[in-house]
């Protein structure tokens, strides 16, 4: 059995003391241990930002790439080695802003990866500018008159694009979040978990403000009900339904036809193609009398 | 014999089909051909041409002038009239003559009468062209039969009948100026473009992953992998070039040999991730198929404008390899080499090609795979007590493991990182060591790079220096100038970075020949090696450089 100690990282944590990111870290560790995944079986992929540092703070494989580009890197990793549990952990600015286009197309591809969006509704590492999810009207260190544009609705976008697992979590409720993350990691296909992670330094509301407004998704909610899931997804100012909004049976996952030809192991284990194949290709290029 | 045939018309009129059929007729008859495509960026209309050069021996360079112009419409005839030699022959459906050098072939009506449908006009045109260049009808019959055999007997019969009609109509009109028949020869050639051999070579080199965004003239590469599934390469059309290269880097970090392919604008989007590859020391091969810029430029034309861009692209300082093949055989060798060097030194490798190399088919005596194909350079997880992805070493190269292999954990970070791979801001020791490690590889890599090819430089007073796709045109220019009594030689680079140390022969005057306006190779050689390059013969109108173009501009 994997233990929580195996996931302990020696790296000094750079987050602000008391940041709800610690809650996400704890919930993720708990989920991985609960699933009995050993650290070498997990690959954490992130972009840039405070949230994107998470992979360093637990012990598993890490690809901490470019700002906004965690999703394509994760897709490449997953195709090359589907035995790894590939999990993207990055912020709303990284995943929804800089890399929004990649996430949109990832929904269509449906690779078997988990995407955890630390949604603090602010750019924290660059000191307090508006993010794609900052509500209209909120004042920031750059939008001095208040944000003038509407927030991105990524959970709804995910549902509309056929993402087969869409959830909202709250960093302040580790028990519930680790349950959601467990289901997301187990799900076959792309799973998006947007985690409300109040920024205690640049945010406009304290954690308590969010805690008062987080409401569990009613137990009678049918997660295959797309219309109802959409209604729960679309951001409302004063209440945040938390839990699994949408979950449908996994459809065919990404790279399936290629995997039918080469098997499901890591690509580095495949031998080189037989020399007769390229020789045959070159022979076909020969023409003459 | 060295003849040049232009098949000109509007996009969608079958230029490529006719060009390919006639080229294959020559090949079937035992003659090497060089076929180059020149077209506008559109699907229908405009003006395009397929240019076939046929000679007794392979002449793999474009010729600007035509001995025969097959014009599929009046506008094409007008547009390419300047290219026609004074005694050149025009084949068209026009009723106007060309001082007697004109064959009037009503393509469409003959197609309808003999093939039953207008669409056989291409076969009519090919038939007339074969007659005009001395190919027997049997050559065309053979090529049409094998080209259409899969579509059924009826289609073959209609094509052959239409081809026969065009052939006979041309023979009729050639009575007063008989064409000497080409004797059949017993010879065969490898007939391919560099972008046709490149994917095959990549598969040989162990490539398992390509992600790319369609962009002329690079699109054929990912298409080949997607179609030829026996090459065993996973092919994904990315949402943009940024995704393409980041996917490939993810796959590479997870242990799959990976590549991408693009052109200048797409490469510009990839540049941040090129720097990432340098920082995380993750192998990747990038095909940069050049076309004229800036910006969208001339999407379907050729250029060598991205040499300095390929060399300098990327923020920060990191080593890279830049190779520029000059023909389909070299595309095989350098593709395999790019994968090997990229993997061995854990650096990005760029293969610089261009539209001319992508779309021109060469005739070569053979296309061969190297006898020895280098293997992979991944480490053995059993070799480590504690694994550190960026462990220091004398060579700057650290043993590379894919994520999780053998129970090992691999940390990869785009931030400056410790030998373990964790983010650091230790400026006193970690950062200097990390910079030194990366640059140590550059120094060692340089010693692996092969010097340029030299051609008749021993007694040369003038030396033409080129790179990549211009090799055959320059060699032909040297032939022509030598025949004229000039002592000319050539130096040709196909391995461009790290720039190899090369001895200069004193007493010769050096000029570069390049598909750009600013003499990028000249700038590089002057700056990095101190070569006294006098000037540049440059072409930047989007068309390929031929021997005549060089000879006319020789100092």
Residues of A in contact with B28 (CB under 8 A): 287-289
Tell me if A53 and B423 make a contact (CB, 8 A cut-off).
yes
* Contact present, B66 and B84 (Cβ < 8 Å): yes
The shortest CB-CB distance from A287 to any of B27, B211, B238 is to B27
Q: Could B404 and A281 be called an inter-chain contact, meaning their C-beta atoms sit closer than 8 Å? A: no
Name the pLDDT band for B41 (thresholds 50, 70, 90): confident
* Nearest Cα residue to B307 out of B125, B45, B513, B541: B513
pLDDT at B244: 98
Residue B302 has pLDDT above 80, yes or no: yes
* A135 within some domain: yes
Chain B residues whose beta carbon lies within 8 Å of the beta carbon of residue A105: 239, 243
Average pLDDT over residues B399-412: 97
**Predicted pLDDT at B502:** 85
* Interval A274-281 mean pLDDT: 97
Q: Residue A99: pLDDT above 80?
A: yes
Q: What is the pLDDT of residue A235?
A: 63
Burial B370-392 (b: 16+ CB within 10 A, else e): eeebeebeebebeeeeebebbbe
Angstroms from A51 CA to nearest CA on chain B: 14
pLDDT digits (tens, 9 = 90+) for A150-196: 999 999 999 999 999 999 999 999 999 999 999 999 999 999 999 99
pLDDT tens for B237-263 read 999 999 999 999 999 999 999 999 999
Residue A15 located in a structural domain: yes
Task: Give mean pLDDT, residues A125-135.
Answer: 94
Q: Is the pLDDT of residue A106 over 70?
A: yes
Q: Are B234 and A258 an interchain contact pair (Cβ–Cβ within 8 Å)?
A: yes
Give the C-alpha separation, A193 to B299, whole Å.
41
Taken in order A80, A85, A89, A93, is the CA torsion positive or negative? positive
The residue among B439, B416, B413, B412 whose CA lies nearest residue B429 is B416
B464: its two tokens: 């033409």
- pLDDT tens-digit series, residues B376-404: 999 999 999 999 999 999 999 999 999 99
Token couple for A44: 């954490």
Query: CATH class for domain B2-173?
Result: alpha beta
User: Mean pLDDT of all residues in chain B?
Assistant: 96
B335 — pLDDT class (breaks 50, 70, 90): very high
Please report how many Cα atoms fall inside a 13 Å half-sphere around the Cα of residue B45, on the Cβ side: 1
Helices B241-253 & A100-109 angle (0-180, nearest 10): 70
With CA atoms as reference, the chain B residue closest to A261 would be B232
Average pLDDT over residues B312-321: 98
The two three-digit tokens of residue B273, written as one number: 């991730």
A98: pLDDT strictly greater than 90: yes
Query: Any chain B CB within 8 A of the CB of A285?
Result: yes
Domain map (residue ranges) of chain B: 2-173, 192-364, 378-448, 453-552
Which residues are registered as beta bridge partners of B496?
none
What value does the mean pLDDT take over residues B276-296? 98
Tokens of B303: 């250029």
Confidence at B341, pLDDT banded by 50, 70, 90: very high
pLDDT (0 to 100) of residue A252: 80
Q: Per the structure, how many domains does chain A have?
A: 1
Q: Predicted confidence band at A236 (pLDDT cuts at 50, 70, 90)?
A: low
The answer on pLDDT for A206 being more than 70 is: yes
Q: In this structure, which long-range contacts are made by residues B477-484, counting pairs with CB atoms below 8 Å and at least 24 apart in sequence?
A: B477/B513, B477/B547, B477/B550, B477/B551, B477/B554, B479/B547, B480/B547, B480/B551, B481/B551, B481/B554, B482/B456
Does this chain's domain B192-364 share its CATH topology with B453-552? yes
Residue A41 counted as domain residue: yes
User: Which carries the bigger pLDDT value, residue A10 or residue A101?
Assistant: A101
By CA distance, what is A55's nearest residue in B? B411
* Angstroms from B214 CA to nearest CA on chain A: 16
Dist CA A259 CA B180 (whole Å):
57
Under 8 Å between Cβ of A81 and A46 = no
Q: Hey, which bits of B269-368 come out as E strands? A: 284-290, 321-323, 348-354, 362-364
Share of chain B above pLDDT 90, in %: 93
> What was the pLDDT predicted at B177?
83
A17-26, A133-142, B88-97, B456-465: which range is least confident on average?
B88-97
Q: Which residues of B touch A79 (CB under 8 A)?
A: 209, 234, 236, 247, 251, 256
User: In chain B, pLDDT over 70 holds for what percent of residues?
Assistant: 99
pLDDT in tens, B197-237: 999 999 999 999 999 999 999 999 999 999 999 999 999 99
| Domain B192-364, CATH homologous superfamily name and number | Thiamin diphosphate (ThDP)-binding fold, Pyr/PP domains (3.40.50.970)
Q: Which residues from chain A sit within 8 angstroms of residue B412, using beta carbons?
A: 62-65
What integer pLDDT is reported at residue A238 of this predicted model? 79
Task: Judge whether residue A288 has pLDDT over 90.
Answer: no
Contact B239 A84 (CB under 8 A): no
Q: B146 — phi, psi (to 5°)?
A: -75, -35
ipTM above 0.90 for this complex: yes
Interface of A with B in 53-112 (CB under 8 A): 53, 56, 59-66, 69, 71-81, 83-84, 101-102, 104-105
Q: How many residues does chain A have?
A: 289
Confidence at B98, pLDDT banded by 50, 70, 90: low
pLDDT band (50, 70, 90) for residue B99: low
Judged against a pLDDT cut of 90, whether residue B132 lies above it is answered with yes
**Both tokens assigned to B414:** 């785009």
Region B42-57 average pLDDT? 89
Report the residue from A48, A65, A80 with minimal CB separation from B251: A80
* Domain CATH for A37: 3.40.50.970
- pLDDT of B69 reads 97
- Is the predicted pLDDT of residue B168 greater than 90, yes or no? yes
The parent domain of residue A9 ranges over: 4-284
Q: How confident is the model over B137-163, as a mean pLDDT?
A: 96
pLDDT of residue B207: 98
* Residues A77, B262: Cα–Cα separation, whole Å: 21
**Whole-number pLDDT of residue B47:** 84
Helix spans in B346-394 (H): 355-359
Cβ contact (<8 Å) for A72 and B250? yes
Q: Is residue A289 part of a domain?
A: no
Place of tokens 């200069």: B504
Beta B495-497 vs B509-514: how paired, if at all?
Answer: unpaired
pLDDT at B480 over 90: yes
pLDDT digits (tens, 9 = 90+) for A216-229: 999 999 999 999 99
Q: Do A267 and B243 touch (CB under 8 A)?
A: no
Closest CA–CA distance from residue A14 to any residue of chain B (Å) = 10
A261 Cβ under 8 Å from any chain B Cβ: yes
- CATH classification (class only), B453-552: alpha beta
């Amino acid at each position: 059995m994997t233990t929580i100690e195996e996931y302990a990282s020696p790296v000094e944590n750079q987050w602000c003391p008391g940041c709800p990111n610690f809650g996400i870290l704890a919930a993720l560790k708990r989920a991985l241990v609960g699933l009995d995944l050993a650290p070498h079986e997990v690959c954490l992929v992130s972009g840039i930002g405070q949230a994107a540092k998470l992979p360093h703070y637990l012990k598993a494989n890490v690809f901490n790439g470019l700002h906004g580009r965690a999703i394509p890197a994760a897709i490449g990793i997953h195709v090359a080695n589907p035995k790894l549990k590939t999990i993207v952990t990055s912020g709303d600015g990284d995943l929804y802003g800089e890399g929004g286009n990649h996430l949109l197309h990832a929904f269509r591809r449906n690779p078997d990866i988990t995407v955890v969006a630390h949604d603090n509704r602010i750019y924290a590492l660059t000191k307090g500018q508006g993010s794609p999810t900052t509500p209209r009207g909120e004042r920031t260190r750059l939008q001095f008159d208040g944000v003038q544009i509407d927030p991105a609705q990524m959970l709804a976008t995910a549902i509309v694009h056929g993402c087969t697992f869409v959830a909202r979590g709250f960093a302040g409720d580790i028990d519930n979040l680790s349950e959601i993350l467990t289901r997301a990691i187990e799900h076959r296909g792309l799973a998006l978990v947007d985690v409300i992670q109040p920024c205690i330094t640049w945010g406009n509301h304290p954690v308590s403000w969010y805690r008062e407004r987080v409401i569990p998704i009613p137990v009678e909610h049918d997660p295959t009900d797309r219309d109802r899931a959409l209604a729960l997804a679309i951001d409302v100012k004063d209440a945040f339904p938390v839990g699994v909004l949408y979950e449908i049976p996994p459809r065919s996952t990404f790279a399936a036809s290629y995997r039918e030809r080469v098997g499901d192991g890591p690509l580095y284990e495949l031998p080189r193609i037989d020399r007769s194949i390229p020789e045959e290709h070159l022979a076909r290029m020969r023409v003459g009398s | 014999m060295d003849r040049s045939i232009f098949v000109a018309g509007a996009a969608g009129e079958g230029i490529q089909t006719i060009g390919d059929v006639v080229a294959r007729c020559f090949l079937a008859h035992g003659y090497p051909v060089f076929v180059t495509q020149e077209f506008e960026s559109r699907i229908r209309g405009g003006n395009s041409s397929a240019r076939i050069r046929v000679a007794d021996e392979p002449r793999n360079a474009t010729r600007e002038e035509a001995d025969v112009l097959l014009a599929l419409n009046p506008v094409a005839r007008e547009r390419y009239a300047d290219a026609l030699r004074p005694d050149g022959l025009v084949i068209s459906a026009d009723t106007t003559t060309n001082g007697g050098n004109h064959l009037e072939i009503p393509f469409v009506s003959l197609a309808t009468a003999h093939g039953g449908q207008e669409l056989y006009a291409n076969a009519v045109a090919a038939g007339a062209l074969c007659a005009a260049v001395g190919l027997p009808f049997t050559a065309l019959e053979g090529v049409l039969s094998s080209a259409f055999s899969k579509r059924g007997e009826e289609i073959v019969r209609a094509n052959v009948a239409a081809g026969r009609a065009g052939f006979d109509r041309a023979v009729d009109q050639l009575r007063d100026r008989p064409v000497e028949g080409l004797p059949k020869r017993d010879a065969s050639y490898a007939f391919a473009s560099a972008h046709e051999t490149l994917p095959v070579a990549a598969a040989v080199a162990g490539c398992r992953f390509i992600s790319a965004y369609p962009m002329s003239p690079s699109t054929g590469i990912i298409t080949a992998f997607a179609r030829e599934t026996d090459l065993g390469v996973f092919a994904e059309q990315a949402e943009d070039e940024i995704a393409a290269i980041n996917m490939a880097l993810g796959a590479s970090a997870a242990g799959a040999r990976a590549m991408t392919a693009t052109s200048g604008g797409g490469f510009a989007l990839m540049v941040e991730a090129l720097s990432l590859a340098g920082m995380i020391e993750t192998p990747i091969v990038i095909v940069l198929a050049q076309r004229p810029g800036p910006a969208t430029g001339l999407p379907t034309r050729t250029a060598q404008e991205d040499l300095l861009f390929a060399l300098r692209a990327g923020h920060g300082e990191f080593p890279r390899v830049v190779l520029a093949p000059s023909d389909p055989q070299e595309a095989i060798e350098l593709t395999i080499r790019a994968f090997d060097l990229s993997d061995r030194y854990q650096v990005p490798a760029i293969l610089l090609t261009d539209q001319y190399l992508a779309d021109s088919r060469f005739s070569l005596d053979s296309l061969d795979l190297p006898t020895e194909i280098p293997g992979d350079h991944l480490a053995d997880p059993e070799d480590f007590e504690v694994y550190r992805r960026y462990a220091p070493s004398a060579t700057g190269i650290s043993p590379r493991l894919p994520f999780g292999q053998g129970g090992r954990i691999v940390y990869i970070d785009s931030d400056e990182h410790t030998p373990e791979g964790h983010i650091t801001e230790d400026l006193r020791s970690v950062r200097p060591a990390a910079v030194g490690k990366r640059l140590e590889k550059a120094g060692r890599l340089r010693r692996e790079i092969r010097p340029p090819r030299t051609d008749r430089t021993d007694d040369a007073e003038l030396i033409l220096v080129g790179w990549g796709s211009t090799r055959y045109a320059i060699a032909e220019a040297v032939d022509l100038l030598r025949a004229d009594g000039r002592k000319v030689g050539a130096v040709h680079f196909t391995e461009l970075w790290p720039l190899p140390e090369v001895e200069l022969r004193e007493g010769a005057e050096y000029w570069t020949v390049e598909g750009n306006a600013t003499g990028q190779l000249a700038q590089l050689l002057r700056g990095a090696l101190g070569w006294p390059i006098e000037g540049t013969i440059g072409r930047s109108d989007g068309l390929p450089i031929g021997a005549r173009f060089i000879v006319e501009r020789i100092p």
